[in-house]
Amino acid sequence: MIQISLLSRVVYVTCILMLGGCGGASDTQSSASVSTPNTQITDPQRKEAARLLTQASFGPRANEIEQVAEFLANNNVTAWIDAQVNKPITLHYPVAEQLSSDNEVLSGASDRPMRMDAWWRASLLGEDQLRQRIAFALSQLFVISENSQLGNFQIEIANYYDLLLGHAFGNYRELMEDVTKSPVMGLYLSMMGNEKPQPDLNIRPDENFARELMQLFTIGLNEMNIDGSLKLDLQGQAIPTYNQETIEAYAHVFTGWHFAGKTELNWNLFFANYDFLTPMELVDSFHDQDSKILLNGYMVPSGTQGETALDIALDSLFMHPNMPPFVAKHMIQHLVTSNPSSEYVARVASAFEDNGEGVRGNMLAVVTAVMIDSEAREPEYYSQAHYGKVKQPLIRTTQILRALIPEQVVVTEDELLFRELVSIQDFTAQSPLGAPSVFNFFLPDHQVNGELLSLGMVTPEFQIITTNNVVRNSNFVAYFLYSTQGKHFRERLNIDFTAYELKLDDNIEALIAHINFMLLQGNMSDDYAQVLRDYDNQIAGVVTENERIRETLMLVFTSPQFAVQQ
Amino acid sequence: MNSRRKFLKRAFASTAAMGCYGALGLQLSAMKAFASQSRFDNHKALVCVFLYGGNDSFNMLIPTATNEYAAYQQTRQQIAYPLDALTALNLTNNDLSSHAMPSVMSPLVDLFNTGQLSIVSNVGPLVEPATKEQLKANPNKLPPLLFSHNSQQALWQTAGVDTQLSQGWLGSIADLLQDTNTSLPMNISIGSSDILSAGATNLPLVLNATGPEDFSLLNPTTSSDQGRLQAHSTLLGLANTPLSREYASRIVSARDNTEIIKAALATMPSRNAVYPEGNSLGAQLHMVANMISVQSSLSQSRQVFFVGLGGWDTHDNQPEQHPALLATLSEALAAFNTDIQAMNKSSDVTTLTLSEFGRTLTSNRDGTDHGWAGHQLIMGGAVTGARVIGHLPSQQLGTDDDLGDGRIIPTTSIEQLGASLATWFGMSENEISQIFPNIDRFDKSQLKLFTT
C-alpha cells in the first residue's frame, strides 16, 4: 500500500544564507550581516574562510567562501561561532520519524535509510553546520553503534544523535549524565538491566559501561598533565588512572537502571514496554547500596540513593584532572589537527576548566578555544609539513557534495532525498553511528610505520584508509560523477555544475581558482594547477563543458591533496 | 630492576629505534639479501584469526566428568552450557578427564578428533612466568592495562612488548622475509587490518573479502582511462606533505598490487570450495584460500594472513550470542580446512585464533566480563592434533589460577605461542629473538605444537 499522499506533502526550499553572517532567521536572500560589508576580498581572506569551513563545517557550499571571507574581514572567528550557535538546531529524529511513517513501502525491513536521510539532510543542508559537526565529533567519543542490537532501532538512535546535538555547546557534565541515562547507550554498553551482586550465584555487576565511560568517554587509561602529556612515576612509568577495583566500584554504582517505567516485577522481561526516547529510570531493588570508593577522593556512602550515587560518580570523573585534556585532544584532533602541540592542548583544556566565568565543562568555550587558537589559525603553525590531518572519509564525501549542491534545494518530507547514499559505508568504511565497536572507527593514537612514525605523528584516520579502502574512497567519486545512480542523485539534488560552468565560461583559470578555495583550502600549487590545465586542454575540444567540469573534479576529488586538510 | 620496568624499558628501546627509522630500514634491507623468503624452497602460510572483543574460551572447552561438570555449572550458573548442548572430544592422547565442546562447534570437534586441530590452553600476555602469590605481592609483574580491550589487543599483537607499539609480530616476520623485488607484500589482511600485520618497514596489503577491486575510471587496464590516469598519477607525485605522501603511496600500492593479484588469480585452478553463506569470516578465509592457491604465481614461498571476526564482547545475552559466534567461527574454519585439504596444502598452512582475553568465570547473570588468559585454536596438517596443549585450569573460583572473580592467570605466554609458530614457519632462533624480544624469559621448548 502506497502511503505517500500528495495532500500531506510538504515542500520547502532551503535558502543557503551566509553561514556566518545573519544571526536571525530569514527567508530572503538578504545579505544582512553584523557589520559593514567589505567588497575587497583578498585571496588570504578566502583561504582563511576555506580553512575555517573545512575544519568547522561539513565543507564549504556555493558562495559560502566569499560570504564568510567577507564576514571575517569585519569580524573575528568567535563572532562566526556565536552566529552559528544561535542557529536553530536541525534535529534528526523528527525527520527520520516522519520519513519512516510516510515510507512504509520503501522502508522494507529497516528504517536505516530514513535515519541516514535525516543525517544527510542535516549535515549537508542544515544551517547549523558547526553544531552538526560538533555532534558528529561527539558521536565518535560517546560511541554507540547500529552494529549491535541497536540496528533494530534505527529511528530511535537518531534521537541519540539529537541528544548530542542538543549538548554540542552545553555543559559536558550534563552531556555525560544524559548519555549515561540514555536507554540507547544503556542497551549498547549493557548498563540497562545491570543489577546488584548476588554472591550465591556468582553474579556481580556488569563492568562494561563503567570501564568504557572511564577509558573512552572521560579520563582515559593513564594520568595526564593539563597539556595531555603523560604523568610519570619515579621510575619514569605511566600511571594508570584506575585499577580493577575502581572499575568494580563504578560498576556497582551503575546498577538498577532500566527502561523508564520498568518495575521490579517486569525487570527480567527486558524489552517489555521498551521506550528508547525517555531516559532510563532506577528500580531501587536492583541497585547496590553498599559504599563505594571512587576516584579523585570521591565516595558513595552506604545507603545512598541510586540517583545520588550516579551523580557522585559522574562528578568524580568530571572533576578529574584528566577530563579537560581528554576532551580537548579529542576535539582538536577531530576538527583541526591530529598532532597538536602540548601548549595548544593545554590552552583548550584550560577553557574546559574555566570558561572565563568560573564554569567548568562549557563546550562552547572548548569549541571556541579549539577554533580561535593561533595554532588553528596562524600560517606560522599550519604551514608546517606535519600539520593538519587526513580527513575522515565520510567528511571528504560531505565536502564533495556540499561543494556541488546548488544554493536552492527542494526538500520534501515524504521521500528520501539521499537514497543513493544509504550504503555510504561501502565506499567510506564509515557511516554515522556505524562504528565497528565502542572504540570508534579508529583509535586516536593509531600510528603508521615509516615516515609518519619517524616524525612522531599519530594518524588516526589512516586506520580505515587502508589499501582496499583507498580504492573505494576513490570509487565513490566515479559513482557520484559518472554512474547511473549518481545521475539520478544529481538530478534530484539539482546538481548541474552551473556555478562551475560559469567559471569555465570565463576561462579555465577562473575554474581552477574557484576549485582551489572550494576544495583545496587555497593550497593548490602551481604544478597542480598545471596538471588540471593540461588535462583540460587535452579534452576541451572533445567533450562538453559539463564533462570537462566533471573530469576536472574527478582529478581533484581523487587526489591526495584533497584527502588531507592543513 | 623489577620486571615491570624491564618490560617497559624494552618498549622504550624499541620506540627509540623507531626514531631512526631510516637507519633501521637500511639495516633491514641489507639483511634481506640473505634472509628473504627466497631462501625457502617450500611453501608455508600462517593465518591469524583475531576474535575481537574477548572470546569466553573457557566456555569452548568444558569438563564433563560428573564432579567437574557440577563445579563448572556451580561457577558459571546461567552462562554454563547444558550437557545436552555439548559434543565430546576424543582425548585419548591427553592426560585429561573427559571434556567437550559446545555442539555448535561440531565441525571443529570432528577436526580435533581426526587430528587436524588442537587447543592451546590458558594463553595470555605475561611479563614473566608468575604465580598468583607473586602477582598479588608484586603488581609490577602484571602486564600493563589488563582487561582493557585495545591495550590487550595491542599486547597480543606486539607479543607483549608494549600497548603503544605499532609493530606486530606478523609484521616483524614480513620485515625479515619480504622480497624487495616485488611491490606485493607477503603480509596480507582481509577486510581490515591491525597492528599484528604491520612491520616497521612493511605495511600490510589490505584486500576486500571479494578480492582486489579496480579503481573506477582510473583503471590502468582500461584504455579510455589512460589520459585521466596519467594526470592523476602526476598529482600523486606532487603530494608534498607526509600525510598526502602516505595517502598517495596507498593508492599506488593498491593499484600496482591489484594488477599483480588479478593476474595471479586469473590462473587460479577451479575448486569446489563451499563456504557458509552470510559468514563474514568464511568470506575472508575464502579469499585467503584463493591467495594460497596461487602462491607460486605470486612467487610467495611464505605468506602471512590476518582476518578477524568481531562481536565477542559478550557482556549480555551471552547464552544466545556465544553459541552463534562459535558456530560462525567453526563453520568458517572447517570450510577453510576442507578447501586447503583439497588443494593438498594441509601441511603447509597453519591457522591460529587470537583474542585479547578470556572472560570472567563469574557473570552479571546473562553475560561475562573481561578476563585474562584464554584458549586458542590451532588448525592444520602440520599441527600435533587432538591435543589440549598447556595447563588446563579448573573452572572453579578462588583456585591458584584465579586472580579474582574468575579472571584466570595465563600459564603460556604469547611469546611461547608465537615462537613455536615462527619456528615452524622457518625462522631462525636468532630471528625469533628479534621478533619476540622477551622470549628468553620463558621456556622456549615447552610448546610442542607441530609434528615436525
Please report the pLDDT score of residue B1 as a whole number. Answer: 35
Neighbour-count burial for B93-102, b at 16+ CB within 10 Å, e otherwise: ebebeebbbb
Please report the pLDDT score of residue A203 as a whole number. Answer: 97
Which H or E run includes B145?
none
pLDDT per position as a tens digit, B323-366 = 999 999 999 999 999 999 999 999 999 999 999 999 999 999 99
A297 contacts chain B (CB < 8 A):
no
Dihedral, CA atoms, A541, A544, A550, A555, nearest 10 degrees? -10
B82 contacts chain A (CB < 8 A):
no
Please report the pLDDT score of residue B266 as a whole number. Answer: 96
A40 contacts chain B (CB < 8 A):
no
Cell numbers found for residue B276: 557458509
Please report the pLDDT score of residue A288 as a whole number. Answer: 98
Chain A neighbors of B242, CB-CB under 8 A: 385-386, 451-452, 455, 457
Which regions of chain B are under pLDDT 70?
1-35, 161, 163
**SS3 state at B240:** coil
B229 contacts chain A (CB < 8 A):
no
Cα–Cα–Cα angle for B328, B330, B335, nearest 5°? Answer: 100
Q: Do B19 and A189 touch (CB under 8 A)?
A: no
B150 contacts chain A (CB < 8 A):
yes
Contacts of A404 (CB under 8 A, 6+ apart): A495, A497, A500, A553
B247 contacts chain A (CB < 8 A):
yes
Picking from A211, A475, A532, the nearest residue to B215 by CB comes out as A475
ipTM above 0.85, yes or no: yes
* Mutation site for B-interface testing, chosen from A466, A473, A519, A556 by largest number of B Cβ within 10 Å: A466
Which among A36, A137, A413 is positioned nearest to A129, based on CA atoms?
A: A137
CB-neighbour burial class of residue A273 (10 A; exposed 0-12, middle 13-18, buried 19+): exposed
Question: Phi and psi dihedrals of A260, rounded to 5?
Answer: -55, 135
* Mutation site for B-interface testing, chosen from A146, A190, A194, A202 by largest number of B Cβ within 10 Å: A202
> Which regions of A351-505 does DSSP assign to beta strands (E)?
389-390, 408-412
Q: Are B407 and A202 in contact (CB under 8 A)?
A: no
Chain A neighbors of B52, CB-CB under 8 A: 436-437
Number of H helices, E strands in chain A: 28, 8
**SS3 state at B81:** coil
Q: Do B238 and A538 touch (CB under 8 A)?
A: no
Q: Are B425 and B302 in contact (CB under 8 A)?
A: yes
Residue by residue, DSSP assigns B403-447 as: SSTT-BPPSEEHHHHHHHHHHHHT--HHHHHHHSTTGGGS-TTS-
For A210: left if phi > 0, alpha if psi spans -120 to 50, otherwise beta; the answer is alpha
Please report the pLDDT score of residue A28 as a whole number. Answer: 36
Handedness of CA A291, A293, A294, A297 (dihedral sign): positive
Partners of residue B307 on adjacent β-strands: B49
Chain A: closest CA distance from residue B174 (Å): 13
pTM: 0.93
Picking from A208, A439, A478, the nearest residue to B216 by CB comes out as A478
CA distance B259 to B438: 40
Q: Are A155 and A96 in contact (CB under 8 A)?
A: yes
Chain B neighbors of A464, CB-CB under 8 A: 192
pLDDT per position as a tens digit, A486-500 = 999 999 999 999 889
Picking from A203, A235, A564, the nearest residue to B241 by CB comes out as A564
Q: Are A155 and A100 in contact (CB under 8 A)?
A: yes
Picking from A149, A447, A551, the nearest residue to B228 by CB comes out as A551
Those of residues 24-63 in B touching chain A at CB distance below 8 A are 52-53
Which among A195, A154, A198, A206 is positioned nearest to B318, based on CA atoms?
A: A206
Q: Are A426 and A472 in contact (CB under 8 A)?
A: yes
Picking from A195, A204, A563, the nearest residue to B247 by CB comes out as A563
Residue type, A344: Y
> Which regions of B76-115 does DSSP assign to beta strands (E)?
86-88, 99-102
B224 contacts chain A (CB < 8 A):
no
pLDDT per position as a tens digit, A106-130 = 545 689 999 999 999 999 999 999 9
CA distance B422 to B169: 9
CA–CA distances in Å: residue B25 to residues A49, A111, A451, B243:
42, 51, 11, 20
B152 contacts chain A (CB < 8 A):
no
Which regions of chain A are under pLDDT 50?
1-35, 105, 107
Chain A neighbors of B145, CB-CB under 8 A: 221, 240
Those of residues 359-398 in B touching chain A at CB distance below 8 A are 361-365, 367, 369-370, 397
Partners of residue A293 on adjacent β-strands: A299
B233 contacts chain A (CB < 8 A):
no
Q: Do A554 and B203 touch (CB under 8 A)?
A: no
Q: What is the DSSP letter of A386?
A: T
CA–CA distances in Å: residue B367 to residues A473, B124, B370:
38, 21, 10
3-state secondary structure B283-312: HHHHHHHHHHHCCCCCCCCEEEEEEEECCC
Contacts of A473 (CB under 8 A, 6+ apart): A393, A396, A427, A428, A465, A563
Which among A337, A431, A333 is positioned nearest to A51, based on CA atoms?
A: A337
Please report the pLDDT score of residue B105 as a whole number. Answer: 98
CA distance A211 to A498: 52
Q: Do B364 and A205 touch (CB under 8 A)?
A: yes
